[in-house]
Amino acid sequence: MELDLIDVQFDLWSIKPRELEEAFEDPFAVRFLPDSERDDGATRFYALGRTVADRYLFFAFSTDGKTARVVAAREMSESERKFYDRKYAEFR
């Protein structure tokens, strides 16, 4: 799936596009079910992922099945990080 980072509404200086790609492709990323149906046919998901440099990111994205458009991204909160670590331990 292609990642669309054009015209994002968050600071790409604090979170680099490469980091978003790494977190998005994290094989242990936790993706949550879509929040609701939208009129444009896209589906919005929330995810927790980790980069190669061990940075923990929360991000929200919408997808039409071909392209994923990141809507928001930030560092995980402490509780989100603990949740991610628990899920990661289950897979290992």
Cα–Cα distance list, 81 to 22, 64, 78, 85, 87 (Å): 16, 28, 5, 6, 10
Tell me the percentage of the chain whose pLDDT exceeds 90: 40
User: In the chain, what is the straight-line distance between the N-terminal and C-terminal CA atoms, in Å?
Assistant: 25
Q: SS3 sequence, the chain? A: CEEECCCCCCCCCCCCHHHHHHHHCCCCCEECCCCCECCCCCEEEEEEEECCCCCEEEEEEEECCCEEEEEEEEECCHHHHHHHHHHHHHHC
> Which comes out higher in pLDDT, residue 35 or 46?
46
Q: pLDDT class for 75, splitting at 50, 70, 90?
A: very high
**Tokens for 25?**
């492709």
**Ranges of each domain in the chain:** 2-91
Q: What is the pTM of this model?
A: 0.82
pLDDT, tens digit, 9 for 90 and up, residues 39-63: 766 678 899 999 999 999 999 888 8
Mean pLDDT of 10-27: 85
Q: What is the mean pLDDT of the chain?
A: 85
